[in-house]
Amino acid sequence: MDETGPDGDAIVAKSGKHERKHKLLVLVVAYHAQDTLGSVLQRIPVSILDDYDVEVLVIDDASGDETFAEGKRQVSLGLPFSVRILANRLNQGYGGNQKIGYHYAIEHGFDFVALIHGDGQYAPERLPDLLRPFHAESADAVFGSRMLRKTDALRGGMPLYKWVGNIILSTFQNRILDASLSEFHSGYRVYRVAALAQVPFHLNSNDFHFDTEIIIQFMRACHKIVEVPIPTYYGDEICRVDGLKYAWNVAKATSKAKLQDVHLLYDRKYDCAKDGSVYELKDGYESSHTIVLSRIPAGPGVRILDIGCASGYLGRMLRAKGAYVTGIDVGEGSRESMGLDQYIRHDLNADPFPVDIGEYDYVLLLDVIEHLVSPERFLDAIRNAMKSGKRETTLLISTGNVGFLVNRFMHLFGQFNYGKKGILDLTHTRLFTFRTMKWLLEQSSFEIIEIDGIPVPLPAAVEGEWSRALVRANSRLINISKSLFSYQMIFVVRPRPTLATLMSDTEQHSEELSARIIAIQTPAQNAKSKSK
């Protein structure tokens, strides 16, 4: 598809020798709009036909007046566009009506869909202005903003309380979402249909804050949003929005998205990021990684086994300190690509374990055990893989604390849902508290040397010194109660000898004792024989 060209040129899609105009759906959402719908349809600029193959779709949301009949009447009078008038059997709400229209756009192969309100609050004449950024930019959505020049909105008749509320809500949303939109609350929009198809807008509210939720989805999917200024029109139309309820729903939806960013909540509709997230080093604040780096006296002669090494980010740092590092993981890779001394590809759920644990000073199991099908069998395999016993092997094992205060609080309100990351990661198969993890290790014949709590890794999701200050505060609370305030836990353990090792040692010790007894008895027996 070729979308390049100067401003004002027709956007065309090329297929072989043929060219076609892009298909534009003008979606008019209407409710009790019998007095305004005709004017809205007549004011759609004919000039857009020069650049687009246009269809107008009017969806009457089960109005109690003659909105549907007025739409049909306008079609019978003749319009320069292909126009289709539909009516919902049951009222779907402002958001629900949009969902139907966007589904129609996707199913019928449109390239763009423009949203216009049937009450005439947004000027159809400005539609070419909203379409223009698609000519020269790789925009995925273009929003008409009444607040790019804020005082214009007041001059256009926007009530003062709505103007103030718009500024307050948009400022709050920009701060929470790390965005810079001039307005989140305009209903005049054009979407690229391919971008719409990549977000689960069908999961959004049917209410008015649908518009906020779809913005969040576009931001999470890294879709480009462009704003253009539009005039403000307020006439005698009936406002059907409960302002306080709308503000509450917007604030709640925005806050929920932010909590999902820090992995404290999860909602499928905000799971729009392109899959490709990788495990990264948690550095610069207290974390399982910084604890390991401070606890291990890495240097020449120290041997480290990093189980579940991912891309080798932690192993490289330990190797830079002089240690010999072996990494094990299920993914493809090599010691050269990971910067390690050795890399072994192995499914941790498979038996037997491929390495002699006894050849290493330290074994790292960081955020691994909760992903395994059977942690019990895996820990048994680890202990049984300690064959040589050449070194005093220490294991550092970290995992999430499902007893974390926030999880307990959420559970009070029935919230126990999984997300892409965090304690309730979608890929986790087992969950642990400090007590259940301690039992698991003890029953797997490991001696527990030390137990520590790890604070919430806020700096990994939120930039700023304040997030590190919260981590420090969290660390102080952990000193009061590990089980309540620890986001993660880390155990320092050593494997107890296996029964086979104990049996072998018993046999060897018995032989040594027998040899000692023989050594003592033999001279005495010889002396007794001589005396005879």
Question: What is the C-alpha end-to-end distance of the chain, expressed in Å?
Answer: 113
Is the pLDDT assigned to residue 312 strictly greater than 70? Answer: yes
**DSSP calls for 175-196:** HHHT---S-S----EEEEHHHH
Is the pLDDT assigned to residue 504 strictly greater than 80? Answer: no
> What mean pLDDT do residues 385-413 have?
86
Question: Reduced to 3 states, what is the DSSP secondary structure of residue 205?
Answer: coil
Tokens 């999880």, residue?
407
Is the pLDDT assigned to residue 93 strictly greater than 90? Answer: yes
- Return the number of other C-beta atoms located less than 10 Å from residue 259's C-beta: 18
Question: Reduced to 3 states, what is the DSSP secondary structure of residue 128?
Answer: helix
pLDDT at 400: 92
Q: Are residues 239 and 377 in the same domain?
A: no
Percent of the chain residues topping a pLDDT of 70: 89
On whether residue 114 sits in a domain, the answer given is yes
On whether residue 371 sits in a domain, the answer given is yes
For residue 175, how far is the Cα from the chain centroid?
19
Q: What is the pLDDT of residues 132-167, one digit of tens each?
A: 999 877 899 999 988 887 777 777 778 888 888 888
Q: What is the rounded CA–CA span in Å between residue 272 and residue 454?
A: 29
Last residue of a domain, one of 270, 299, 319: 270
pLDDT at 1: 36
pLDDT at 352: 84
Q: Are 328 and 344 in contact (CB under 8 A)?
A: yes
pLDDT at 307: 95
Give the type of residue at 382: I
> What mean pLDDT do residues 175-183 have?
91
On whether residue 27 sits in a domain, the answer given is yes
**The pairing of beta strand 394-400 with beta strand 488-495:** antiparallel
Q: Are residues 298 and 253 in the same domain?
A: no
On whether residue 279 sits in a domain, the answer given is no
Q: What is the pLDDT of residues 29-79, one digit of tens each?
A: 999 999 999 999 999 999 999 999 999 999 999 999 999 999 999 999 999
Is the pLDDT assigned to residue 288 strictly greater than 80? Answer: yes
Of 329, 294, 279, 490, nearest to 396 by C-alpha is: 490
Is the pLDDT assigned to residue 16 strictly greater than 50? Answer: no
pLDDT at 2: 40
Higher pLDDT, 463 or 414: 414
Residue 256 sits in which domain range? 12-270
Q: What is the pLDDT of residues 437-448, one digit of tens each?
A: 999 999 999 999
pLDDT at 461: 67
Name the pTM for this structure.
Answer: 0.72
Is the pLDDT assigned to residue 409 strictly greater than 90? Answer: no
Q: Are residues 132 and 260 in the same domain?
A: yes
> What mean pLDDT do residues 246-258 have?
91
Q: Are residues 260 and 311 in the same domain?
A: no
- Among 62-71, 108-117, 275-284, 419-428, name the one with the lowest average pLDDT: 275-284
Residue 300, both tokens:
């020449």
Q: What is the rounded CA–CA span in Å between residue 95 and residue 212?
A: 10
Q: Are residues 105 and 141 in the same domain?
A: yes
On whether residue 159 sits in a domain, the answer given is yes
Q: What is the pLDDT of residues 340-386, one digit of tens each?
A: 999 999 999 988 889 999 899 999 999 999 999 999 999 998 888 87
Going through 212-369 in order, the beta strands assigned E by DSSP cover 225-229, 303-307, 324-329, 342-345, 362-366
Q: Are residues 171 and 120 in the same domain?
A: yes
Longest dimension (CA), the chain: 140
- Among 122-136, 438-452, 505-519, name the one with the lowest average pLDDT: 505-519
pLDDT at 10: 44
Residue 289, both tokens:
């990684």
3-state helix/strand/coil string of 364-423: EEECCHHHCCCHHHHHHHHHHCCCCCCCCCEEEEEEEECCCHHHHHHHHCCCCCCECCCC
* pLDDT level of residue 268 (50, 70, 90 thresholds): confident
**Domain holding 52: CATH number?**
3.90.550.10
pLDDT at 251: 93
Q: What is the rounded CA–CA span in Å between residue 30 and residue 233?
A: 17
Q: What is the rounded CA–CA span in Å between residue 250 and residue 270?
A: 14
On whether residue 148 sits in a domain, the answer given is yes
Q: Are residues 187 and 263 in the same domain?
A: yes
pLDDT at 8: 40
Q: What is the rounded CA–CA span in Å between residue 30 and residue 272?
A: 29
Q: What is the rounded CA–CA span in Å between residue 260 and residue 271?
A: 9
pLDDT at 234: 63
Q: Are 357 and 393 in contact (CB under 8 A)?
A: yes
**Domain holding 295: CATH number?**
3.40.50.150
Q: Residue 29 is inside which H or E element, if any? A: strand 18-30
pLDDT at 239: 58
Residue 280, both tokens:
């990264």
Q: Are 268 and 213 in contact (CB under 8 A)?
A: no
* pLDDT level of residue 118 (50, 70, 90 thresholds): very high
Q: Are residues 246 and 298 in the same domain?
A: no
Q: Are residues 227 and 309 in the same domain?
A: no
Higher pLDDT, 528 or 130: 130
Q: Are residues 248 and 298 in the same domain?
A: no
Percent of the chain residues topping a pLDDT of 90: 55
Q: Are residues 295 and 380 in the same domain?
A: yes
pLDDT at 526: 66
Is the pLDDT assigned to residue 317 strictly greater than 60? Answer: yes
On whether residue 259 sits in a domain, the answer given is yes
Last residue of a domain, one of 238, 270, 302: 270
Q: Are residues 239 and 305 in the same domain?
A: no
- Among 206-215, 270-279, 289-298, 484-493, name the one with the lowest average pLDDT: 270-279
Q: Are 361 and 355 in contact (CB under 8 A)?
A: no
What's the structural domain count of the chain? 2
On whether residue 19 sits in a domain, the answer given is yes
Average pLDDT of the chain, as a whole number: 87
Of 144, 96, 103, nearest to 121 by C-alpha is: 144
pLDDT at 388: 66
Q: What is the rounded CA–CA span in Å between residue 15 and residue 190?
A: 24
Is the pLDDT assigned to residue 277 strictly greater than 70? Answer: no
